[in-house]
Amino acid sequence: MKPGRDVLAFKRLFLTHAALAPATNQMSGHEPAGSAPRFSKRCTVSESFTPNERTRVVREPQRGVYDRETIYRILDEGLVCHVGFAANGQPFVIPTLYARIGDAVYFHGSAASRMLRGVSEGANICLTVTLTDGIVLARSVFNHSMNYRSVVALGKAALVDAPQEKLEALRAFTEKILPKRWDDARQPNEKELKATSILRLPLTEASAKVRVGPPEDDLADYALPVWAGVIPLRTVAGAPVRDERCDLGIPLPAYAAEYRR
Ligand SMILES: Cc1cc2nc3c(=O)[nH]c(=O)nc-3n(C[C@H](O)[C@H](O)[C@H](O)COP(=O)(O)OP(=O)(O)OC[C@H]3O[C@@H](n4cnc5c(N)ncnc54)[C@H](O)[C@@H]3O)c2cc1C
Distance 26 CA to ligand 1 centre (A): 25
Distance CA 108, CA 169 (A): 9
Atom in ligand 1 nearest the alpha carbon of residue 58? 26
10 Å Cβ neighbour count for 178? 17
Domains of the chain: 3-257 (2.30.110.10)
**DSSP secondary structure letters along 189-216:** -HHHHHHEEEEEEE-SEEEEEEE-SS--
Give 146's strand partners.
135
Question: According to the model, what pLDDT value does residue 28 have?
Answer: 33
124, 136, 154, 207: residue to mutate for ligand 1 pocket, most atoms within 8 A of CB: 207
Question: According to the model, what pLDDT value does residue 31 have?
Answer: 42
Q: Report CA dihedral (113, 119, 120, 123) to the nearest 10 degrees.
A: 150
Question: According to the model, what pLDDT value does residue 115 have?
Answer: 79
Distance 58 CA to ligand 1 centre (A): 8
| Closest-CA residue to 119 (of 133, 108, 103, 134) | 108
Question: According to the model, what pLDDT value does residue 249 have?
Answer: 98
Give 83's strand partners.
94, 127
Atom in ligand 1 nearest the alpha carbon of residue 54? 49
Distance CA 89, CA 85 (A): 9
Question: According to the model, what pLDDT value does residue 111 have?
Answer: 67
The backbone torsions φ and ψ at residue 228, rounded to the nearest 5 degrees and listed phi first, read -140, 150
Distance CA 90, CA 97 (A): 22
As averages over each run of 10 residues, the pLDDT of the chain (261 residues) reads: 39 36 33 38 72 94 96 97 91 94 91 76 91 98 98 95 91 95 94 89 97 98 98 96 98 96 90
The backbone torsions φ and ψ at residue 95, rounded to the nearest 5 degrees and listed phi first, read -75, 140
102: left (phi over 0), alpha (psi -120 to 50) or beta: left
Distance 124 CA to ligand 1 centre (A): 19
Pocket of ligand 1 (CB under 6 A): 54-59, 130, 132, 146, 148, 150-152, 207-209
57, 65, 125, 145: residue to mutate for ligand 1 pocket, most atoms within 8 A of CB: 57
